[in-house]
């Protein structure tokens, strides 16, 4: 059971066993928290594989192996946050290089691209990737990276992973995917040709709103070596206690995601039939622009849903958000508890209003992260908060 052959395990077995071995010194079933900064050496340079915890830590190593297995990848690298993981990817590039990014993406990603790395001479193109042929229009000899989210945040667009990866490979470009909204349970982009997977581990993977962490998963050895060098040099590493908490959270990832999906479907259907609700953005609807692609590359459709009000009234949106009893108004997503947010003033406030509106992100848009509570209570909460 406790071996390194993860490829034949089913997902739920991987979540519990991949990369995890009983501690050889005590037989402890759970990975110990190696709360140490440094390690004894018997002679200069002669050690047991660990010198300093910025570079390697046994608790972190176990988590990295586990995450790699969940994504059907070879190498995992954990970071102090999702933004630290994205920062590491862009540091692969040089001044003058260009990035083609989805135009509907997390506000923090937009901010680091436009407010930090653009100042170092990297050019970013933000385009609609719902039709991946749009990518071809922006590829040139300076393009080094295609960056996608799918489903996107917060408009729930679906990007064709296989199609985008074929374009990237044709032009010799790296293809990176933020897989946070789907989690490895719903989607494994490496299997569709992606080069780098990024997760805000804070969200579904950790799953309990008690950790901030990021991760990258890759297959290519040279790419892993470059990213590991950048991480060690820059120092954006998580602590062992956080790694322990994520390992514990992962053990129920498959069970949690199943309930997120079940509840998400019922919430989406309720919203779609509600007289005060306008557009509902959820890839499980057959009417969704890329529903068929979502069916091909996702196991299920997830618990992230966005919706607008018919009258697009921001004051009414605020009233609803403040009136929820079980949906908590808060940043973030993917925890066991249901959360609600107002992207225009919260997660996406760093994106200018005119850019938000280009992708349909209206001021009345509400984003829900549907948790794993009893669905009857969530339905009651939505009805009482929105009203009739």
Catalytic residue among 61, 87, 104, 178: 178
Instruction: Tell me whether residue 256 is one of the annotated catalytic residues.
Output: no
User: Out of 14, 60, 61, 106, which one is annotated catalytic?
Assistant: 106
HEC profile for 144-205? EEEEEECCCCCCCCCCCHHHHHHHHHHHCCEEEEECCCCHHHHCCHHHHCCCEEEEECCCCC
Contacts of 157 (CB under 8 A, 6+ apart): 102, 104, 128, 129, 130, 150, 151, 289, 290
Q: What is the rounded distance in angstroms from the CA atom of residue 18 to the CA atom of residue 28?
A: 16
Looking up tokens 């998400």 gives 264
Q: What are the start-end ranges of the E strands in the chain? A: 75-79, 98-102, 123-127, 143-149, 174-178, 196-200, 214-218, 277-281, 304-309, 328-329, 339-341, 366-369
388 is catalytic: no
Q: Is 106 a catalytic residue?
A: yes
> Could you give the count of Cα atoms lying within 13 Å of 234 in the half-sphere of its Cβ?
20
Give the active site residue among 23, 39, 54, 138. 54
Across 56-93, b (16+ Cβ under 10 Å) vs e yields bbbbbbbbbbbbbbbbbbbbbbbbbbbbbbbbbbbbbb
> Which position among 14, 65, 144, 203 bears the catalytic label?
203
281 is known as an active-site residue: no
User: What tokens appear for 159 in the block?
Assistant: 């990007």
∠ CA 299-302-303, rounded to 5°: 165
Smallest CA-to-CA distance from 307 within 102, 189, 156 is with 156
**Is the CB of residue 244 less than 8 Å from the CB of residue 62?**
no
Residues with a catalytic annotation lie at 54, 106, 178, 203
């Amino acid at each position: 059971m406790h071996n390194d052959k993860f490829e034949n395990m089913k997902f739920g077995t991987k979540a519990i066993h991949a990369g995890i071995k009983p501690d050889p010194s005590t037989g402890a079933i759970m990975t110990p928290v190696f709360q140490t900064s440094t390690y004894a050496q018997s002679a200069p340079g002669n050690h047991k594989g660990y010198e300093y915890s910025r570079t390697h830590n046994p608790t972190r190593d176990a988590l990295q192996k586990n995450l790699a297995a969940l994504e059907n990848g070879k190498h995992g690298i954990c970071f102090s946050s999702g933004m630290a993981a994205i920062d590491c990817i862009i540091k692969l590039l040089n001044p003058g290089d260009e990035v083609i990014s989805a135009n509907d993406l997390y506000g923090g990603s937009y901010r680091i691209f436009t407010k930090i790395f653009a100042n170092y001479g990297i050019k970013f193109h933000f385009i609609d990737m719902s039709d991946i042929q749009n990518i071809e229009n922006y590829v040139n000899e300076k393009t080094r990276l295609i960056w996608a989210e799918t489903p996107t945040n917060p408009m729930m667009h679906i990007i064709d992973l296989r199609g985008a990866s074929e374009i990237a490979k044709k032009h010799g470009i790296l293809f990176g995917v933020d897989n946070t909204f789907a989690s490895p349970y719903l989607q494994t982009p490496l299997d569709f040709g992606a080069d780098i997977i990024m997760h805000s581990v804070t969200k579904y993977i950790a799953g309990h709103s008690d950790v901030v962490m990021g991760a990258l998963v890759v297959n290519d050895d040279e790419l892993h070596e470059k990213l590991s060098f950048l991480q060690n040099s820059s120092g954006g590493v998580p602590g062992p206690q956080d790694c322990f908490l994520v390992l514990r959270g992962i053990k129920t990832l498959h069970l949690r995601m199943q309930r997120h999906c079940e509840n998400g479907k019922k919430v989406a259907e309720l919203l779609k039939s509600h007289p005060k609700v306008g557009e509902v953005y959820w890839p499980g609807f057959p009417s969704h622009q890329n529903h068929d692609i979502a069916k091909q590359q996702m196991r299920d459709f997830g618990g992230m849903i966005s919706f607008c009000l018919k009258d697009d009234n921001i004051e009414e949106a605020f009233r609803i958000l403040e009136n929820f009893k079980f949906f908590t108004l808060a940043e973030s997503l993917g925890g066991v508890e249901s959360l609600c947010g107002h992207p225009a003033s919260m997660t996406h406030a760093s994106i200018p209003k005119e850019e938000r509106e280009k992708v349909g992100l209206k001021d009345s848009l509400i984003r829900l992260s549907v948790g794993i509570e009893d669905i009857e209570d969530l339905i009651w909460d939505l009805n009482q908060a929105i009203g009739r």
